[in-house]
Amino acid sequence: MEKIVEQLLELSNTTSSDFSTETFLEELSFKIIGTLNAEFCALALYDKTEDQLFYHIGCWRDTKLSKSFLNDYPEIRNVTSAVKICAEKKNIQSFADEDISFNLKQDYEEKFKISAAAVLTVPMLSRGTLIGVIEVLNKPTDKIFSEDDKILLKIFSNYAAIVVNNKQLFAECHYKDKFSALGQSIANSAHGLKNILNNMDGGAFIVEKGAALKDLKKVEKGWDMIKRNTIRLRKIVLDILLYSRPKQPEFKPSDINQICKDISDLLDQNAKANNVEIKLFLDKISKDFCFDPIGIHRCLLNLISNAVYACGKKGGGRVNVTTKTCEDDVLEIKVSDNGIGISKENLPHIFDIFFTTKGADGTGLGLAVTKKIIDDHNGTIQVTSTINIGTKFIITLPNNKYHK
Amino acid sequence: MKNKKSILIVDDEPDAIEFVKAILTDIDDFNLITAKDGSEGIAKAVSYKPDLIILDVVLPGMDGFLVFHELRGLNETKNIPIIMLTGVADKIGIKFLKEDMKKYTGNEPVEYIEKPIEPDTLIKAVRSVFNQ
């Protein structure tokens, strides 16, 4: 018993959400061979869609012939031709229902031309669901497997079932998440683009009407609508390209405080018009700190203009921009506002591409692009927000001078 | 002399409002009122009591559905016919097919028109409201 506890402990050390199932099963097979003193261990997993058991691993004690078992007997990859035949007309699900350990000596010898003194087979069950089957073959001493061996194998198989089942569930969730995120992005982008398309159709409609009525003013009005919306479309397309391009940032010594001042100047007029004050709290920061100035300018422009927008929606407010250096050569930039805030349900989505709550005022690309640029810097971006109180973004950037 | 009918258009896209206005001008000489978001839309609906409201679903802040429910809850506006406009798959997790719309709003609105707007579809919908 002590032995199996040790073996299980070793096994559990090798399992994590990113391990490969094959590696785990192989490791498991060797542990079983060692613990039960068996000659051979094979592992089959149950395939729901085909209602079949398929061998994944077969290991011999002496040689590491793991996969060669399957190569030697390609016809038994489908385990039903081995275990099931041996088990005499038992259907696959019955493995899940009952405890099976037979002496299948004769059948094995006939089928595989392996001299078998004893065979022990147990199902891998996770909450009553059949995950697979483990079977071991022969003891070197030609003894049959004992009741203790059966219990040991069951412990191994239960553990393996949980691990494999978790792995399968993890893969399923991961796939679903990814798929629904993609679908949502497409849906969001379709909406933004359809609005632009609608406006362009509107422009064309007014141009046509103006032309029919020989009303030059109408023609101009429609034409302006079309032009305005081509500009919007161009911005979206360029942002999509920026987002998807695997371009590496150009790190060089840059002045973060100057960038903050430039952006504040740039947005000043718009801020004042919306009764918003932008306040800068700039620490003394070395101008040798390295990052991509164009990229970071872009990020801060996005964050600060969002902050101004959030305050403007509340009828006015204040945006604080703070810079400071932290230990370990890390630069921290904080953008906080006392604007309308972001709702709890929207907060997890703000960095999703094409996600926007700003209607015609947003493209859903600003924060997605911002996040990507920060990621490219190996930096972090964090957000906290309370509805009607305000929002705070904190960016940290490592000094990227060694990443040439 | 017949009374001029009034129509309230609620949309956050100024160009979309222009488009709708241009189409409506082809039908008749209406009194056109516009609003750029839900709360302005509700306020104007209450004070002007228009004969028809054309309401975009995706609005910043309060979305078109909320606006719809608010309007239906107010005595001044509960009987005003509403035509809804939207792009497709407009809201997280909700696909706005006409059948789905009914779930949200009962058998209303009068018509649900997808953007980009087909002028003929909107004209037909508006005519059907005023011919009743």
In one letter, which amino acid is A10?
Answer: E
- Please report which confidence band the pLDDT of residue B93 belongs to, taking 50, 70 and 90 as the band edges: very low
Range picked from A227-231, A240-244, A390-394, B74-78 for highest mean pLDDT: A390-394
Q: Three-state DSSP class for A22?
A: helix
Range picked from A68-77, A319-328, A387-396 for highest mean pLDDT: A387-396
How confident is the model over B116-129, as a mean pLDDT? Answer: 90
Please, which residues 85-124 of chain B have a Cβ atom closer than 8 Å to chain A?
87-90, 92, 95, 115-117, 119
Q: Do B13 and A229 touch (CB under 8 A)?
A: no
d(CA B51, CA B77) in angstroms, rounded, equals 10
| Nearest one of A195, A217, A196 to A206, comparing CA atoms | A217
d(CA B69, CA A133) in angstroms, rounded, equals 58
d(CA B65, CA A285) in angstroms, rounded, equals 50
How confident is the model over A380-385, as a mean pLDDT? Answer: 94
CA distance B123 to chain A (A): 14
Pairing mode of beta strands A317-326, A276-282? parallel
pTM of the model: 0.51
Q: Three-state DSSP class for A379?
A: coil
How confident is the model over B37-66, as a mean pLDDT? Answer: 90
Residue with tokens 């718009």: A270
Taking CA atoms, what residue in B is nearest to A210?
B22
d(CA A354, CA A190) in angstroms, rounded, equals 9
How confident is the model over A52-66, as a mean pLDDT? Answer: 68
d(CA A154, CA A158) in angstroms, rounded, equals 6
Average pLDDT of every residue of chain A:
79
d(CA A157, CA A160) in angstroms, rounded, equals 5
- Residue A80: the pLDDT is 42
Q: Does pLDDT of B45 surpass 80?
A: yes
Backbone angles phi, psi at B47, to 5 degrees: -80, -35
CA distance B131 to chain A (A): 25
Range picked from A12-21, A137-146, A213-222, A348-357 for highest mean pLDDT: A213-222
CA distance B19 to chain A (A): 4
Chain B contact probe: residue of A205, A207, A354, A356 with most B CBs at under 10 A: A205
Residue B117 with chain A: CB contacts under 8 Å: 198, 201-202
Q: Give the one of B22, B58, B89 whose C-beta lies nearest to A206's C-beta.
A: B22
- Residue A112: the pLDDT is 58
The residue that leads in pLDDT, A314 or A76, is: A314
- Tens-place pLDDT, residues B21-33: 999 998 889 999 9
The answer to whether A314 faces chain B, any CB pair under 8 Å, is no
Type and span of the H or E element at A280: strand A276-282
